[in-house]
Amino acid sequence: MSIDMSQFYQTFFDESFEGLETMESGLLGLDVGAADEETVNTIFRAAHSIKGGSATFGFTAVAEFTHVMETLLDEMRAGDRMVTEHAVDLLLQSVDCLREMLTAVQNEDAVDSERVSNVQKDLEILLNGDESSAAQTENTVEVVSENSNNVSTGWIVEFKPFDYLLKTGNDPVRLFRELSLLGEYTTTVNAENLPLFNDFDPELSYLSWTVELVGDITVESINEIFEWVDDDCELIVTAISSQDEEVVVDIDASAPEQFSQEVEEETEVSPIVENNVQELKPENAPEAKTTPAPAPAPDKRGAKKPSVDQGSIRVGIDKVDALINMVGELVITQSMLSQLGENLTQEKLEKMQDGLAQLERNTRELQESVMRIRMLPISFAFQRFPRMVRDLSHKLGKEIDLRLLGEQTELDKTVMEKIGDPLVHLVRNSIDHGIEMPDERQAAGKPRMGVVELNAFHQGGNIVIEIDDDGKGIDKEVIRNKAIEKGVISENEVLSDEQIYDLIFAPGFSTAKEVSDVSGRGVGMDVVKRNIRELGGTIEVKSEKGVGSKITIRLPLTLAILDGQLIRVGGDTYIVPLVSIIESLQVRDEQVNGIAGQAELYKLRDDYVPIVRLHDVFTLKPDSEKLTDGLIVIVEGEGNQVGLFVDDLLGQQQVVIKSLETNFRPVEGVSGATILGDGTVALILDVVGLIKLSKQERIKAA
């Protein structure tokens, strides 16, 4: 039975990219000198899995490139090669190159063959240099003959795969296809180790083959075909001379015993791929003295086109179990309610009410279980920074200690994907603008090595991410002078520390003296703020000159569900996010002040808060326009407060957010919509947008 391998492409790509992350993390943890066996083994296994999977799916260029990396890693783990800074740098470059290759293959784009060739050449130079003189490949083919000639009139190849070969992602059928392209050949199968049908395991290899090749074929071309399985088989290649004398060319004396303890850890292939590789059943084994048809012509990558990435997520079995349990509880409750509803009487009403309450609990718990499936540890976003900080510190000549805290803090996958780039901008700025040069730090009485710390934790219904550094801090006067120079503020304008720090997020604002590819063009920080706002989050900066800076980001745990306060304005219902509400209060006339009829302010203790009449914003008819007849809801966004004038507060509830932009169009002051229990649609207010609208109205009035 032929299997369409393209259905497993996405699984292969997902696991390959995870493998690259594992390799990168391991390489960053290697110390110069003797290699740590466990770390190198982890890196090697990831490379081995990628090579095996690539070969399985016909991504030959990826497999060949990975094979060179694997050879270098194999020498390190065997103790034949020391770990050097140059070797780690080159392997990290190779990981980048491999990531680019896989991305190109996944997107059906052309691979940058020039870059691949250059990196591969550097790897081969390192392999063939002085450092590798002690490490020789075990299975190098040498012609044992007085007149050593690598071209023969024929060859006999005795191929006996170890029983676990199929689990490595390799398939003997493909090897025979490649051999068929070299010349005419016949094959004889040895099935003496084939078990009885009841004992047959389709994932194990029981057969061995003897192949006779005829033609002007080099031994190198044969060796090249079997190099993918050189550690997973016994191979004997015998040359047939023109005088019909047989000369033993290659004997792989490797015994399966030496691999038995490492099989499980060196054959990490996706369970889906592992269970679906083409099964080499007895009836599919090559018949004796047969010549197979030539292999079909491959496309430009040697495989079918992969499907478009639809995105995927890995879910822990505990979360799946919890979901299944909740569905079971829901089915039981539904069955109970169904029975009560068949012959509903007055006596059954109390049981019906209890059943409905139970249904509500089950539904809420089911909703929470489903939402937890989308939750991922923030380590997925943090894992890119060790490599980035290492590269930047080398480039800038700085010494930096990166500390990652709270890596298991979970947040929604969608939030995770969108917060990655803003975090990169902020960390790069901390390194470039915050951390001083080692000599400068030493002169200031600081350690030569600067510290950049990323921390994540839950606080209420939000996730808080902090980027903290012990650098030179932010000079408020420099920022203020630059803002005056650019016309962002006037010379006489008085700003608080928070307002001055907020200027760094203005479009085109930069205090860098030189433009570099790290920072200094004034693009990035405004995008950071906009992206965080689009996620319903806030960003705050605190700094002390000469001591350091801390940037705090607050984000909702999920973009799908919101805890909200229902408010009424006239006949319409709106929802205000609970996290934005500070307090609600009854209006008193003596607390209300006006500025020449241009704006209304409410005196809240020692401060004045602008009043936003929602009925004016949304052109509605309220119950009354007198402030004392309604309520003021004090809300905060990005450090600013306003009071929303509403007719009434209706209650609090959790709502499912529906995108207004996707289903209708963007509306200023509104972040989304939801459907209430009675079937009506309620708009979810965007507090930051309303504050912005309020400012614009006051400016127009002025």
| Residues annotated catalytic, as ranges | 48, 70, 429
Rg of the chain over Cα atoms, rounded to whole angstroms, equals 34
Q: What are phi and psi of 633, to 5 degrees?
A: -105, 110
Q: Interior CA angle at 277 toward 287 and 13, to 5°?
A: 145
Q: What is the largest CA-CA distance in the chain?
A: 116
Element (H, E) at 675: strand 670-675
In b/e form, how buried is each residue of 225-259, taking b as 16+ CB within 10 angstroms? bbbbbbbbbbbbbbbbeeeeeebebbbbebeeeee
The distance from CA 668 to its chain's CA centroid, rounded to whole angstroms, is 32
List residues bridging with 610 in a β-sheet. Answer: 601
The pair of three-digit structure tokens given for residue 29, joined into one six-digit string: 């943890």
| C-alpha to C-alpha distance for 229 and 210, rounded to whole angstroms | 16
The pair of three-digit structure tokens given for residue 273, joined into one six-digit string: 């791929």
| Pairing, β 462-469 against β 548-556 | antiparallel
CB-CB contact of 215 with 182 (8 Å): yes
Q: Hey, what amino acid is at 120?
A: Q
The pair of three-digit structure tokens given for residue 156, joined into one six-digit string: 């006999």
| C-alpha to C-alpha distance for 213 and 210, rounded to whole angstroms | 10
Kindly list the distances between the CA atom of residue 613 and the CA atoms of 488, 553, 617, 622, 642, in Å, as whole numbers in the listed order: 29, 30, 7, 10, 10
| C-alpha to C-alpha distance for 227 and 234, rounded to whole angstroms | 12
CB-CB contact of 85 with 301 (8 Å): no
Q: What are phi and psi of 557, to 5 degrees?
A: -65, -35
The 3-state DSSP class for residue 656 equals strand
Handedness of CA 49, 52, 54, 56 (dihedral sign): negative
List residues bridging with 670 in a β-sheet. Answer: 667, 685
Kindly state the DSSP code that residue 638 receives in the 8-state scheme.
T
Element (H, E) at 210: strand 208-218
